Amino acid sequence: MAPAKATNVVQLLLGSTALWLSQLGVRTVAASKSVTAHLAAKWPETPLLLEASEFMAEESNEKFWQFLETVQELAIYKQTESDYSYYNLILKKAGQFLDNLHINLLKFAFSIRAYSPAIQMFQQIAADEPPPDGCNAFVVIHKKHTCKINEIKKLLKKAASRTRPYLFKGDHKFPTNKENLPVVILYAEMGTRTFSAFHKVLSAKAQNEEILYVLRHYIQKPSSRKMYLSGYGVELAIKSTEYTALDDTQVTTVTNTTVEDETEANEVQGFLFGKLKEIYSDLRDNLTAFQKYLIESNKQMTPLKVWELQDLSFQAASQIMSTPVYDAIKLMKDISQNFPIKARLRMNILICLFQNLRSQH
């Protein structure tokens, strides 16, 4: 009987524990009301090594090629190392040419995948060539394609008789003193052994001023993972369909009170109405009417005109820099969160200046 009783006690304890855990899990799920949103791009995930190279290219063309020399076959470590270890390895290589500030900027660029669209742009250019079948990397020499290194010399012989390719602003050109040379465009994934083999041959020819060597990123087998981007300014609006009866008189009173409270605000769209009412006390009613108009117009999200979009970044930076230090962060936060509305500040000031000039003349 003792073993049977012990067995029953154990089963009872296990059953009560499972029931307690299940109830705890239900409560945890029910208490969580957060909403997680993922913003996925239309292209697959791009390698961080290529994004790091684009960051280097933005610093200088010289740093791009110096960084490239140190990571010629770095991609082979991706197969044996974890993603985090490979990430740190890229940062270590980049740290040879960047200070701590720029390393932090590179980390931030990685987090928001700022250079992923640039990699996809090169990928799209390569797709338009199109690439030869079964080639990890290939070169284009004045509209002639090959993925064999030993054919490069042959294609260079009559390259001058063929049309010279168009080069884009973002192309990576190997440093050379001459520009009027046959153009050899390499489509390859930096860090792979195939890329390294092509690069050694082409860089040697470029140093001897035989060719103009141009590199464009090309990934033969893109990742199967989605490219998730950082999103901002996302709002989840949930509308209640429940009917609620309200007294019209009370609604009007609340609305009027709200408008009166808003008109007490000192600054609206760049106008300091408190100061203006002190200086022009005889125009107090007109200023109040104009202030109410600006407050109501703030709530309207009408499309901006083309001329309203000119120099907006300069206007915002100028306003932030001219603000006292203690208020600058607050103002920057306000501008970034309400940028479409703040963009009309410049338009309103110009209109008022124009009207003032007309009244004087």
- For the ranges 59-68, 70-79, 283-292, the maximum mean pLDDT occurs at 59-68
Q: Is residue 26 one of the residues assigned to a domain?
A: no
3-state helix, strand, coil in the chain (%, to 5): 60, 10, 30
Same domain, 302 and 350: yes
Q: 255 Cβ partners below 8 Å, 6+ apart?
A: none
Q: Is residue 165 one of the residues assigned to a domain?
A: yes
Same domain, 220 and 277: no
Number of residues that make up the chain: 361
Same domain, 168 and 71: yes
Structure confidence at residue 273 (pLDDT) = 79
Are the C-beta atoms of residues 270 and 318 closer than 8 Å to each other?
A: no
Give the chain's domain count. 2
Examine the fold and report which residue of 174, 196, 227 is the final residue of a domain before the chain moves on: 227
Q: Rounded to whole angstroms, how far apart are CA atoms 217 and 7?
A: 67
pLDDT digits (tens, 9 = 90+) for 324-345: 877 888 888 877 777 666 665 5
Q: 202 Cβ partners below 8 Å, 6+ apart?
A: 139, 152, 174, 184, 186, 211, 213
Tokens 């974890």 -> residue = 82
Same domain, 57 and 168: yes
Same domain, 149 and 219: yes
Same domain, 99 and 179: yes
Examine the fold and report which residue of 177, 201, 227 is the final residue of a domain before the chain moves on: 227
What pLDDT band is residue 44 in, cutting at 50, 70 and 90? very high
- Higher-pLDDT residue of 296 and 24 is 296
Same domain, 166 and 293: no
pTM of the model: 0.58
Tokens 């007294």 -> residue = 247
pLDDT digits (tens, 9 = 90+) for 151-197: 999 999 988 889 999 999 999 999 988 888 999 999 999 999 999 99
Q: Is residue 306 one of the residues assigned to a domain?
A: yes
pLDDT digits (tens, 9 = 90+) for 107-161: 999 988 999 999 999 999 999 988 888 899 999 999 999 999 999 999 999 888 8
Q: Report whether pLDDT(350) > 50.
A: no
What pLDDT band is residue 255 in, cutting at 50, 70 and 90? very low
Same domain, 279 and 184: no
Is residue 282 packed enough to be buried (19+ CB in 10 Å), middle (13-18) or exposed (0-12)?
A: exposed
Examine the fold and report which residue of 166, 196, 227 is the final residue of a domain before the chain moves on: 227
Phi, psi of 244 (to 5 degrees): -125, 125
Which tokens sit at 258?
A: 């709200």
User: What is the average pLDDT score of the chain?
Assistant: 78
Same domain, 275 and 196: no
Same domain, 140 and 282: no
Q: Is residue 24 one of the residues assigned to a domain?
A: no
Same domain, 223 and 271: no
- Full domain range(s) for residue 45: 41-227
The beta strand positions in the chain, using DSSP E, are 39-44, 138-141, 144-146, 172-173, 183-188, 212-217, 226-229, 267-268, 271-272
Which amino acid belongs to residue 184? Answer: V
Same domain, 333 and 281: yes
Q: Is residue 254 one of the residues assigned to a domain?
A: no
